[in-house]
Amino acid sequence: MALNGIQIFKMTPKKNCKECGCPTCMAFSMKVAQGAMDISACPHMSQEALDALSEATAPPMKTIKVGTGDAEYSLGGETVLFRHEKTFVSKTRYAVKLDCCMDAAAVDAKIEEIKKVDYERIGERMFVEMINVAYCGEHKDNFLDIVKKANETGRILVLDCEDADVAAEALAVCAANKPILNGANASNYEAMSKVATDAGVVLGVSGKDLNELYDTVAALEKSGNKNLVLDVTGASVKEAFGNAVQVRRASVKDQDRTFGYPSIVNLTKVAAGDKYMQAALASVFTMKYGSIVVMDQMTYAEALPIYGLRQNVFTDPQKPMKVEPGIYPLNGADENSLCLTTVDFALTYFVVSGELERSGVPCNLLISDAGGLSVLTAWAAGKLSSSTVAKFIQEEVEPKVKCRKLVIPGKVAVLKGDIEAKLPGWEIIVGPREAVQLVKFLKDMQA
């Protein structure tokens, strides 16, 4: 079978399979169109057709891989402009900047600061994934020393360097960890492309405006380099924001694959020295549409709200966020501390645990599997019942906790009698209907 001169199928005799129109081929085609199967799974596809159709059916934004091993991340691959349309694919990554003008002590201090931001929230590790090392045209030896130190942290490096010779020396130190070489522009893209291609790393491209950026990317693609990211940082916040939005719209909405690459936004250039503005802008470009956002620093104070936002934005809107079932000791609780239970819906967990921590009362918060639903929804769906609570308590809690007092949410007070019947020896207490009432409720219990 031929399509536009391309031989699509090289058929071999097979039972119940014809060259065109048969149910087998039609079913396969529908699954490919829905994204349920890859076109390469067809055994009858010629290589020429496979190459052509793979390119045609690929997402409008190319997926770029950076890093290696456990530190390998995907950038780009987006198919929609807004999360509610479907979902965002590759989450924004954050980088902290090190400058070649910094002395050794300042570099060491900032690297130690980077390492402190490392915690887990709802099953996701949140830490500074990347380090941006900038070369200002001077202090080459110091730049190479900083590259070496940053590479030892295991983070992915983003090398800001427009000098091809210096870039080659830096990549000799860190190329094995697959960094990003961000330094190509209209005047040096050929030399920079050769350096990046020889080292097998992603090349970052910038331009004085979008027209120049477009022409430079087109020239790089013509030379065969499509392993790119686009530095959309402008001279101002307004320009950077406009660039990021227009690049995304051009690729996703207008299907212009020349702009179909992930974006870098360097906030140290548009909000230099203002850590509060950079934190606010990091939130903006997490939503619109930075694949990598570079900042001067990332402490726990900045990280907590930014990573929380990222987790919300890059979670499938059709799947609620859940916390892992288990026992969560709060305020220094031990095996003799009061037990309270609620559902595994992440929002419920954070609201309830926040109020419990505010009370200062040592307690064990018991989270059972409720399908990621809120209290009343889980109860209505049968996910939160006397049977599920009792089973969880008997299997997971009783072997570890000596206290036999359990507080249940006030909205499911109707379960009290059944839970008591299924958990002999336990005192079941009906708690308040709203989390904000927990502080007074627990202090009254202690009085």
311 contacts: CB under 8 Å, gap ≥ 6: 121, 122, 124, 126, 321
Q: What is the largest CA-CA distance in the chain?
A: 85
Per residue in 104-125, pLDDT (tens digit) is 999 999 999 999 999 888 778 8
Beta carbons within 10 angstroms of residue 380's beta carbon = 11
For residue 8, what pLDDT is reported?
Answer: 43
**H or E element that contains 204:** strand 202-205
- Phi and psi angles of residue 222, each rounded to the nearest 5 degrees, phi first: -60, -35
Helix and strand tally (H, E) in the chain? 16, 19
Q: What does each C-alpha distance from 16 to 20, 23, 32, 96 come to in angstroms?
A: 11, 9, 20, 58
* pLDDT one-digit tens code per residue, 179-209: 999 999 999 999 999 999 999 999 999 999 9
User: What pLDDT sits at residue 346?
Assistant: 87
Helix, strand, coil in percent for the chain, rounding step 5: 45, 20, 35
For 391, the enclosing helix (H) or strand (E) is helix 386-392
| Residue 152, pLDDT score | 93
Q: Give the residue with greater pLDDT, 50 vs 275.
A: 275
How far is the CA of 191 from the CAs of 77, 104, 196, 331, 398, in angstroms? 27, 30, 9, 58, 67
In this prediction, residue 169 carries a pLDDT of: 95
5 three-state secondary structure = coil
Q: What percent of the chain has pLDDT over 70?
A: 87
How many Cα neighbours within 13 Å face the side chain of 333?
26
pLDDT bin (cut points 50, 70, 90) of residue 222 is very high
Q: What is the predicted pLDDT for the residue at 130?
A: 96
Which long-range CB contacts under 8 A does 219-225 form with residues at least 24 apart?
219/189, 220/184, 220/189, 220/193, 221/258, 223/190, 223/193, 225/193, 225/196, 225/197
Q: Is the pLDDT of residue 371 over 70?
A: yes
pLDDT band (50, 70, 90) for residue 60 = confident
Is the pLDDT confidence value at 309 over 60?
yes
Q: What is the DSSP string of 14-49?
A: -TT--SSS-HHHHHHHHHHHHTSS-GGG-TTB-HHH
**pLDDT for the residue numbered 57:** 64
Residue pair 161/137 in contact by the 8 Å Cβ criterion: no
- Of 39-43, 93-97, 249-253, the poorest mean pLDDT is in 39-43
The candidate with the shortest Cα–Cα distance to 174, out of 191, 150, 197, 193, is 150
pLDDT at 133: 96
Residue 42: the pLDDT is: 72
pLDDT of 261-299, one tens digit each?
999 999 999 999 899 999 999 999 999 999 999 999 988
Measured CA angle at 51 (ends 48, 55), to 5 deg: 145
Comparison of pLDDT for 321 and 218, the residue scoring more: 218
pLDDT at 93 over 90: yes
Decide: residue 356, CB within 10 A, 0-12 exposed, 13-18 middle, 19+ buried: buried
* Model pLDDT, residue 85: 84
Task: Give the HSE-up count for residue 250: Cα atoms under 13 Å, Cβ half-sphere.
Answer: 18
Averaged pLDDT score across all residues of the chain: 88
Mean pLDDT of 331-346: 91
pLDDT at 409: 93
pLDDT for the residue 86: 84
Residue 147 — very low, low, confident or very high, per pLDDT cuts 50/70/90?
A: very high
Supply 371's token pair.
């399908």
The confidence score (pLDDT) of residue 312 equals: 86
* Residue 337 and residue 406 in contact, taking contact as beta carbons nearer than 8 Å: no
Residue 418 has a CB neighbour count (10 Å cut-off) of 15
Q: Indicate the pLDDT class of residue 19, thresholds 50, 70 and 90.
A: very low
Residue 293 pLDDT: 97
- Which tokens hold the place of 231? 């530095």
pLDDT for 24 equals: 57
Task: Determine whether 21 is exposed, middle or buried from the number of CB atoms within 10 Å of its CB (0-12, 13-18, 19+).
Answer: exposed
* Burial of 233 (C-beta count, 10 Å sphere; 0-12/13-18/19+): buried
What pLDDT is stored for residue 14 in this prediction?
43
How high is the pLDDT of residue 292?
A: 97
pLDDT band at 26 (very low <50, low <70, confident <90, very high): low
The domains of the chain, with CATH numbers, are 2-57 (1.10.15), 63-313 (3.20.20.20), 326-446 (3.40.50.11600)
Contact partners, residue 17, CB within 8 Å, separation at least 6: 11, 24, 25, 44
Give the pLDDT score at 4. 42
What pLDDT score was predicted for residue 37? 65
The residue that leads in pLDDT, 444 or 2, is: 444
**Predicted confidence band at 30 (pLDDT cuts at 50, 70, 90)?**
low
| Burial of 304 per CB tally in 10 Å (0-12, 13-18, 19+) | middle
- In sequence order, which residues have a C-beta less than 8 Å from that of residue 416 and are 6 or more positions away? 408, 428, 430
Strand-pairing partners, residue 181, are: 159, 203
Asked if the model's pLDDT at residue 244 lies above 50, the reply is yes
